[in-house]
Amino acid sequence: MEEDTTIQFVPTGAERDLVDRFFSLGCRHGLALIYLRKRLQLLVWDPVTGDQHHIAVPPGFDTETSPISGAVFRSAGDVQHFHLALVGSSERQITQAVARVYSSETGVWGNLITAPLQSEGAAHFRIAVSTIKPAVLVGGSLYWLLDGSSGGILEFDMDRQRLAVIPMPVNDLRFFQFSMIRADGGGFGLLVLSGSSAQFWKRRTNCDGVASWVLGRTIEIDKLLHCEPESNGSQLILGFAEDNNVVLFWTIDGPVMLQLESLQSEKVLGTKIMSHYHSFESVYTTGVWNYTLVADAEMDFFAVGSSILYAVLALALVISQLA
């Protein structure tokens, strides 16, 4: 008898050992990406049609002691096929980052891309790609947050087939205090909360080809989110919807969405769950483009080091449709 490989999402309150079985790596272009840890498989799932594609983790990745992450995306104008980028640590050398790209059209993984990565004050460091905050796609590059002692952001330039680490522009950022975003005018950026304000940082390359962070505008986030005076500075960032350029914040009144270009905010109805949310965008229903928030519904907090707050997300998923 063949094994039933269909994934069924369980309700809130499921046993916590589900964390060891599968977890969400994010959504993009109408597809969700899920890592099946015990099977060493990646599931690309279309929640609208129900189509599921199970793809084995390719050789070259350390799946025993280091986390792996990935991102799914489609080429412009192609609604039939998808690509899957996978990043992690080398199975041969833990101080080396590796990446490969899968094409559903050919059913084949591309060449293994490797890079010895360096940090300030140390010759090499162990790569630990975050599996909680999903990647952000900007142009031909994908960006992942790096966990633990490594810190920074992992950039995968798919056009140049190159991996690199970008340092943070601000030290000692907490997990829910910032979000990777698409910067004003294009390019990669960060939105960083600082008290009752939020700062826009952009990655910029000068005429000599040297990239650095540049501080852009600063906004009064408490006023834009219509927060009560007693809640100033208590906002948290829960997620980012890259296609619509929307950041989801947590306030004492519940989640609030902020569109970064218009700076228009809207309260999210139907949920008061404080968790990290994955945006599911590009669902076409009744002639209107909507987007859905997919949330990991149960979470515990624990401190890593002295300043960074991380969340362990149980894999009971809640799907809430935004009108």
DSSP state of 293: E
So what's the pLDDT on residue 225?
A: 86
Give 23's Cβ-side CA count (13 Å radius).
26
Amino acid symbol at 122: A
So what's the pLDDT on residue 142?
A: 97
So what's the pLDDT on residue 289?
A: 41
**Cα–Cα dist 96/94, whole Å:** 5
Residue 320 belongs to what H/E stretch? strand 308-321
So what's the pLDDT on residue 117?
A: 65
So what's the pLDDT on residue 180?
A: 95
So what's the pLDDT on residue 101?
A: 98
Mean pLDDT by 10 residues, the chain (323 residues): 44 42 84 90 88 94 90 89 94 86 97 76 61 91 81 91 91 86 91 91 89 93 77 78 88 86 83 70 49 42 20 27 26
**Cα–Cα dist 164/114, whole Å:** 10
So what's the pLDDT on residue 84?
A: 98
Q: Which residues lie below 8 Å from residue 83, measured CB to CB, with a gap of 6+?
A: 72, 73, 74, 75, 101, 102, 103, 104
Q: Which residues lie below 8 Å from residue 185, measured CB to CB, with a gap of 6+?
A: 202
So what's the pLDDT on residue 12?
A: 38
Starting at the edge strand that comes first in sequence, how are the strands of the sheet with 277-285 ordered? 277-285, 288-304, 308-321
Please identify which residue in the block is written with the tokens 């900007």. Answer: 138
pTM above 0.75, yes or no: yes
Q: Which residues lie below 8 Å from residue 77, measured CB to CB, with a gap of 6+?
A: none
So what's the pLDDT on residue 98?
A: 94
The full set of domain ranges for the chain reads 1-167+275-290, 170-268
